[in-house]
């Protein structure tokens, strides 16, 4: 299936507008951070929702909401003030391979970060001069796992510098950084611009991108993320990742 540039631009724009709307929030993991208004609550809820965002959407939402409930629907306050005894209720938590051990490690890591930094944005982008997203993700992972933890837990944060597509982290960054008039993404992080983001890539969006001629590479890895994002910048250099909505919608909802 071959598209002319203008045809493809019109299709991507139409599908972006079709799926980037408040109704989208109701069925998407982004509904979890939308329960909050404080920046740090949005960050924490979004980070957990993105971390759990693989598998059936109904299960993702159920388990992410369970986590918010275990944190008394006040994640920032809980993270800052919990003591070890408060963590016992998380021991039996499980979402696919993310288990209680992983969950407690994440909570301790977040407490360490928030006790040393006002917000997660500062931890993610610790150097104002470094806007290179893959490097920032990799550095954040090292910082996040600077406390004692089990090796198994590290697999739940991807590292683009090791070749991973890092779909869930890129999705989280989309939530935090980009903003438009439709109100789905939050745009509460200002350290980098939407133009510097990379498109979340998974099986659905990858298959759609290949059918549209936006991606030649067969593997869903970081090189493919770079290739796809470079292509999307041809259509909107200031906000290429907005087309994640188009690729996702075509793949998941329309079985394109």
Please write the tens of the pLDDT for every residue from 186-209: 999 999 999 999 999 999 999 999
Q: List phi, psi (to 5°) of 95.
A: -135, 105
Mean pLDDT for 18-40 is: 96
Distance between CA atoms of residues 191 and 118, nearest Å: 14
Confidence category of residue 174, pLDDT binned at 50, 70, 90: very high
Residue 185 in this model has a pLDDT that exceeds 90: yes
102-121 pLDDT, tens digit each: 999 999 999 999 999 999 99
Q: What is the pLDDT of residue 1?
A: 62
CB-CB contact of 19 with 245 (8 Å): yes
Overall domain count for the chain: 1
Cβ-based neighbours of 48, under 8 Å, separated by 6 or more: 32, 64, 67, 68, 75, 106
Tell which residue, 204, 215, 220, has the closest CA to residue 163. Answer: 220
Distance between CA atoms of residues 178 and 190, nearest Å: 9
Mean pLDDT for 196-225 is: 97
Query: Residue 219: left if φ>0, alpha if ψ -120 to 50, beta else—which one?
Result: beta
Q: How high is the mean pLDDT of the chain?
A: 96
Q: What is the pLDDT of residue 150?
A: 94
Q: Is the pTM higher than 0.85?
A: yes
Mean pLDDT for 122-145 is: 94
Residue numbers of the domain that contains 206: 5-253
Distance between CA atoms of residues 97 and 205, nearest Å: 23
Two tokens, residue 227: 């290739």
């Amino acid at each position: 299936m071959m598209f002319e540039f203008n045809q493809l631009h019109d299709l991507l724009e139409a599908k972006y507008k079709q799926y980037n709307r408040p109704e989208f929030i109701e069925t998407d993991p982004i509904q979890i951070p939308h329960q909050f208004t404080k920046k740090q609550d949005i960050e924490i809820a979004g980070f957990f929702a993105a971390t759990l965002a693989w598998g059936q959407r109904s299960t993702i939402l159920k388990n992410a909401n369970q986590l918010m409930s275990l944190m008394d629907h006040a994640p920032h306050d809980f993270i800052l003030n919990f003591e070890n005894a408060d963590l016992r209720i998380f021991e039996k938590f499980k979402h696919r391979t993310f288990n209680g051990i992983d969950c407690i490690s994440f909570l301790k890591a977040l407490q360490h970060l928030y006790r040393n930094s006002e917000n997660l944005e500062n931890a993610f982008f610790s150097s104002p001069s470094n806007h290179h997203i893959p490097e920032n993700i990799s550095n954040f992972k090292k910082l996040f796992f600077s406390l004692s933890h089990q090796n198994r837990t590290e697999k739940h944060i991807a590292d683009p510098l090791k070749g991973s597509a890092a779909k869930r982290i890129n999705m989280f960054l989309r939530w935090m950084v980009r903003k438009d008039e439709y109100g789905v993404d939050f745009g509460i992080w200002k350290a980098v611009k939407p133009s510097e983001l990379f498109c979340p890539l998974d099986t659905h969006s990858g298959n759609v991108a290949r059918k549209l001629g936006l991606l030649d590479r067969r593997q869903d890895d970081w090189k493919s993320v770079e290739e796809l994002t470079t292509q999307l910048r041809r259509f909107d250099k200031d906000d290429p990742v907005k087309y994640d909505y188009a690729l996702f919608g075509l793949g998941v909802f329309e079985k394109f």
